[in-house]
Amino acid sequence: MGTTDNNLYTTRLGAGLGLIEETKILLRLWEPGISVKQLHQLALRSGALPELTSRRLLNIVAEGFGPRYLVDDAKSAKFLKCVDSLLSGTEFKQILFLHTCRANLILADFVKEVYWPRYAQGAAELTNLDADSFIRRSLDDERMHKRWSESVVKRVASYLLGCLSDYGLLKGEHSSRRKFAPFQISSNVALYLAYDLHFSGVGDNSLLEHGDWKLFGLEDQEVLDVMKKLSLKGAFIVQAAAGLVKISWKYNSLAEVCHVIAKS
């Protein structure tokens, strides 16, 4: 199986799982143009995370916050700073979940290949064994740069379940067995995701089948239903016929989307 470095799984989730409160603090400190190194020093001087050592804080900024929110000209960090006080806690966590999956392919694939299929089968819970089995299959498929040790496999299995618990997809903490939690994309998050994909150059027809929607358990027709509901709120105009989709987009930037959320 041929893979590139961008398609390989890493242990980066170990930098901090959901990092919800840490992300809020770092977003308040960060401003456009501030690098990972500068943000680390700024956070250190601010004393905003006093329980963390300098080394641990650098790990969170460089391996957690940076890859999730400062890529692609930090567009997600800019948007999150704009909507931080406007979104509900659930909505904020859903956007963090999206970007954490984008930055950690192992989490994204686990959600799509294990979490949602198990949910659809009517399973009541996910276990460390489910995550462990997924990782071992991935090792056999050569999805890692080198084969992980037994201890690394067990740690990353716990990271996967812990991260999903942080973001509200599972219930329970510090447990090897966690129950499924109700999880449905919110309209504001769907609005953000639709426009983010559009501004990233994803075409109208391709947008409905983009893998990011599958992180929320949505297939093509379900995405179209979500888009039609958003169109009733004036977010855009959706025309669908004979398998073709045409979307007339209303807003020209994520900053405009932020302003719309502020008025909602």
Block means of pLDDT (10 residues each) for the chain, 264 residues, are: 66 92 96 95 93 94 96 95 92 97 97 97 94 94 91 94 96 83 96 97 94 97 95 93 90 94 84
List the chain domain ranges.
Answer: 1-183, 187-263
pLDDT at 256: 94
pLDDT at 1: 38
pLDDT at 5: 61
Give CA 169 to chain center in angstroms: 12
CATH of the structural domain 1-183, one choice from 3.90.78.10, 3.10.20.520, 1.10.3540.10, 1.10.3470.10: 1.10.3540.10
pLDDT at 2: 42
Two structure tokens written together for 29:
């400190």
The number of beta carbons lying within 10 Å of the beta carbon of residue 51 is 6
